[in-house]
Amino acid sequence: MSDDNKLDQGGAPRQQTTDRDSTMTTAQGGPIADDQNSLKAGPRGPVLLEDHVMREKIFHFDHERIPERVVHARGYGIHGHFELTEAIPELSCADIFQRVGEKTPTFTRFSTVAGNKGSFDLARDVRGFATKFYTQEGNWDLVGNNIPIFFIQDAIKFPDLVHAVKPAPDRAFPQAQSAHDNFWDFISLSPEAVHMTVWQMSDRAIPRSFRFMEGFGVHTFRLINAEGESHYVKFHWKPRQGLQSVVWNEAVKINGADPDFHRRDMWDAIDAGDFPQWDLGIQVFDDAFADAFEFDILDATKIIPEEQVPVRLIGTLTLDANVDNFFAETEQVAFCTQNIVRGIDHTNDPLLQGRNFSYLDTQIKRLGGPNFTHIPINAPKCPVNHFQQDGHMAMHNPKGRANYEPNSWGEDGGPRENPEIGFASYPDQVQGTKQRVRSESFADHYSQARQFWISQTQTEQRHIAAGYTFELSKCEHAHIRLRMLSHLMNVHDDLAQAVAKGLGVTKMPEAAKPARAPITDLPASDALSILKNGPDSFAGRKLGIYVSDGADADLVAALEKAFTAQGALVAIVAPHITGAELSDGNLKPADQKIDGGPSVLFDAVALVFSEAEGERLAKDKPSKDFVSDAFAHAKFIGWTGAAQPLIKAAGVEAMDEGMIKLTADTVADFIGLCGKLRHWPREAALQA
Ligand code: HDE
C-alpha cells in the first residue's frame, strides 16, 4: 500500500495501492478506484443514480443496526474455556461433565438489565452472566445473573416488571435506573419482589468489575445420569478473584468519569493476560430435601442457603480472549435457556418455562430469521446434521436428495435418530387441573429477605438502607415510599427504621399484610455477604499513583514494582498528560491527566509530590476532589510529606489507619493494607 501524500482536488489524502489483495472492493467484490467522491454529472452537478459504489455503501450503512435486546441490551462478551476438575457421571451423563481435564470452549456475556445499549456501566442494576458452552454434544447455555434470585415468580409478570423499570413511555426517562416512581410502584404492589430488592439495594448491584462478582443459574434444574436418575441442581459461579463492589457515591461518579468502566476493565485485564476465573459450583439435592425445605424449590425468588446444601466445585471457567469484533460476536450472540444438553433438564419453575419460550422468540426478531445458528458465534462446534433448510440467510442447507425422514435412501438418506446419546427429557409425572393459579408454596415473601439482611456486615447493612433511601427519595409520590416501607417492616425492623429515618418519615405506616407469616429465625449465611468473601490480596486491582514534577522517582518505582509483582495494575496520574519530570530528571509519562483520572477509577491511591508542587496542588480543585473522594470512599491512601497540604485542603481533618506515610520501608505495609480493599471503619466514623 502506498500512503504517499497525494491529495485529491478537495485536499483529502488518497491512500492507494497496486496490490490486489489489499484493494478495496464493493460487497460484490468489484475493485474500487475512488471511495471519496460520488459519481456526478460535472464537478458541481447532480449525483447520478447509477453510482452503484455509493449506493451500495450507504445502503449497507443504513442497515447496520439490529434491534437491541429488550433487556440486557448493554453487555460485554469474552471467549474462554471451561475445564472440568471433577467428573460427575453418577449425577449427569452430560458429555461436558465426564472427563477431568477436558476443556470446552465458551463465550460469556456480562450485561446490565435495564439500560439501553449506550447506557453507563455503573447503573444500580442486576448483572447478566450468560455462558454458552460449545460442548461435543451441542451448545449448553447457562443464562444467569449475578444475583441468585429474581423479582418475580411467574414469567407472565415479566413484561410488566421490565416496563416498570425502563423509561416511562410518555417522557422516555429515566434511563438505566430503578430510582423512580414506576419501578417502586410496581415493586411495592408485588410482594414477591421484596426479597430481590434487598439484594438489588445491596452492593451486589454495583460491582467493581465483572471479574469480581458471582454468577448464578437462579432456577432449579435437573441433572440426569445414564440410568435416567434425576437430582435437582442449582448452578453457581464463584470468582477466584474474590468479591468486590464500589460504593454508591463512587458509582455515580464513575458513570461520569468512565461510562465504560466495566468493559474497559475486562478488556484491559484480558489484554494484559490477567485472565479471570470462576469455579462452577453445583448444589445438588433430592426430592426428600425438596419436600423438607422451608420453601418451594421451583420458586425463583428463593435461594437454597449454602449452609443447607454445600456448593461442590466441579470445574473452572477461564476467560482469556477478547472478541475480534464486537458486533459479530457480542451483539449477535444468541443465548437461549432452552439450549440444554443430554444430562441436564428443566424443572417446572414457571419463570424458567416462560423463558424457554422467550429466548428463541427474541432471537428471531433480533437476528432476522431462523438461521441464527449459522452465525459463527452461535454455531455449535460439534457435528450438526438435520433436515432444516432455507429461510433468511441460509448458509448450510442439507446436501443431496434427502431433506425429510423417514426415507428409504439408505446411506444417502442423511442423519438418523440415536436413542443412545439423543436428548431425553426426565419422565416427570405430571397431573393437574388446568387453572391460572400461584401455588400456595410460593406465598412466603419476607423470610429470606430477612435472612439476607441479617447475614450482612454492618457496613453492608448501612449501604442497603442507604440504597433504599436514595431510590425511594427519587419517588415523587409519598404513597409509593410508604407502601414500600410497609413491606420493609416485614423484613427487619432495623432496616425499616433506618429507611424511615433516611426518608424523614416520622409516623410509620402499617406493615403490609403478609400472604404467609414470615419465618423469623432463619440463621445468617456468611455466603451472602460480599465483605466476608473478599480477596486476600490486591491482585487484579488498580493503584492510582498521583505524581507531581520533582516527585521521588525511587519511591514511584518501588510502588510500581511491588504492586505489579502482586498482580495489581498501576496507573500514573499527573497534572499533565505528558507526565511529570521526577526527581531523577526523567519524564514519567502519565496514563491520566488529573481531571480525567479521578480517584474513583482506582481501588487505592498514592500521592507522591515534591515540596514545591505539593503547595501548588493543594489549591487545585481536581486534586482536592481526588483526595476527598478517595477518603470518603474509604480507600487506602499512601502519602508523602509534601502531600499534607493537599490532604488538609481536601477536608481530611485527621489521618486515620487507612492512610499510610510512604517511604521505601512502608511500601510493603501499604500493599498489605490495600489487600483489605477499603478502610470501612472510616466510613462508619464519617457517618456517625
Ligand atoms: Fe432474561 N431475557 N428473561 N432473565 N436474560 C433476555 O433474551 C426473559 C430472566 C438474562 O447476554 C432476552 O436474547 C423473560 C431471569 C440474561 O445476551 C429475553 C424472563 C434471568 C440475558 C429475555 C426473563 C435472566 C437475558 C433479551 C422472565 C436470570 C442476556 C435478549 C421469565 C436467571 C443474555 C435476549 C445475553 C436476556 C426474556 C428472566 C437472565 C427478552 C421472559 C430470571 C443474562 O428473551
Ligand 1 binding pocket includes 75 (Cβ within 6 Å): yes
| pLDDT surpassing 80 at residue 626 | yes
Residue 153 binned pLDDT confidence (cut-offs 50, 70, 90): very high
Mean pLDDT across the stretch 235-252? 98
Is 72 annotated in the active site? yes
Question: If you measure from the C-alpha of residue 162 to the centroid of ligand 1, how many angstroms do you get, rounded to a whole number?
Answer: 11
pLDDT in tens, 260-282: 999 999 999 999 999 999 999 99
What local confidence, expressed as pLDDT, does residue 11 receive? Answer: 84
| pLDDT surpassing 60 at residue 1 | no
pLDDT in tens, 292-330: 999 999 999 999 999 999 999 999 999 999 999 999 999
**Distance (Å, whole) CA 458 – CA 514:** 27
Mean pLDDT across the stretch 18-23? 96
Ligand 1 binding pocket includes 130 (Cβ within 6 Å): yes
The one catalytic residue among 72, 79, 180, 195: 72
pLDDT in tens, 178-227: 999 999 999 999 999 999 999 999 999 999 999 999 999 999 999 999 99
Ligand 1 binding pocket includes 262 (Cβ within 6 Å): no
Is 586 annotated in the active site? no
Ligand 1 binding pocket includes 70 (Cβ within 6 Å): yes
Q: Across the chain, which distance is largest between two alpha carbons, in Å?
A: 91
Is residue 314 within 8 A of residue 343, CB to CB? The reply is no
Nearest CA to ligand 1 atom 17: 335
Cell numbers for 129, please give them. Answer: 452472566
Mean pLDDT across the stretch 508-525? 98
Question: If you measure from the C-alpha of residue 437 to the centroid of ligand 1, how many angstroms do you get, rounded to a whole number?
Answer: 23
Find the length of the chain. 688
Q: Output the CA torsion sign for 12, 18, 24, 28.
A: positive
DSSP secondary structure string, 588-616?
E--SEEGGGS-GGG-SEEEEE--HHHHHH
What local confidence, expressed as pLDDT, does residue 264 receive? Answer: 98
Ligand 1 binding pocket includes 144 (Cβ within 6 Å): yes
| pLDDT surpassing 90 at residue 4 | no
Mean pLDDT across the stretch 234-252? 98
Model confidence, pTM: 0.97
Nearest CA to ligand 1 atom 8: 355
Closest atom, ligand 1, to C-alpha of 352: 31
Is residue 227 within 8 A of residue 215, CB to CB? The reply is no
| pLDDT surpassing 70 at residue 579 | yes
**Distance (Å, whole) CA 197 – CA 215:** 17
What percentage of the chain has pLDDT greater than the value 90?
A: 97
Question: If you measure from the C-alpha of residue 426 to the centroid of ligand 1, how many angstroms do you get, rounded to a whole number?
Answer: 24
Nearest CA to ligand 1 atom 20: 144
More confident residue, 603 or 14: 603
Is residue 290 within 8 A of residue 247, CB to CB? The reply is no
Residue 350 binned pLDDT confidence (cut-offs 50, 70, 90): very high
**Distance (Å, whole) CA 74 – CA 110:** 8
The one catalytic residue among 139, 145, 322, 371: 145
Beta bridge partners of 316: 83, 279
Residue 637 binned pLDDT confidence (cut-offs 50, 70, 90): very high
Q: Decide: helix, strand or coil at residue 185.
A: helix
Q: Which residues of 500-528 are buried (b: 16+ CB within 10 A; e: fewer)?
A: bebbebeeebebbebeeebeeebeebebb
What local confidence, expressed as pLDDT, does residue 285 receive? Answer: 98
Is residue 412 within 8 A of residue 402, CB to CB? The reply is yes
Residue 5 binned pLDDT confidence (cut-offs 50, 70, 90): low
Is residue 261 within 8 A of residue 122, CB to CB? The reply is yes
What local confidence, expressed as pLDDT, does residue 536 receive? Answer: 87
Question: If you measure from the C-alpha of residue 153 to the centroid of ligand 1, how many angstroms do you get, rounded to a whole number?
Answer: 14
Question: Where on the phi/psi map is residue 645: left (φ > 0), alpha (ψ -120 to 50), or beta?
Answer: alpha
Closest atom, ligand 1, to C-alpha of 363: 13
Mean pLDDT across the stretch 87-94? 98
Peptide bond into 406 cis (omega under 30): yes
Q: Is 417 exposed, middle or buried (0-12, 13-18, 19+ CB in 10 A)?
A: exposed
What local confidence, expressed as pLDDT, does residue 399 receive? Answer: 87
**Distance (Å, whole) CA 145 – CA 141:** 13
**Distance (Å, whole) CA 535 – CA 135:** 31
Ordered strands of the 592-593 beta sheet: 592-593, 569-574, 542-547, 604-608, 636-639, 659-661
Ligand 1 binding pocket includes 128 (Cβ within 6 Å): yes
Is residue 147 within 8 A of residue 129, CB to CB? The reply is no
End-to-end CA distance of the chain: 67
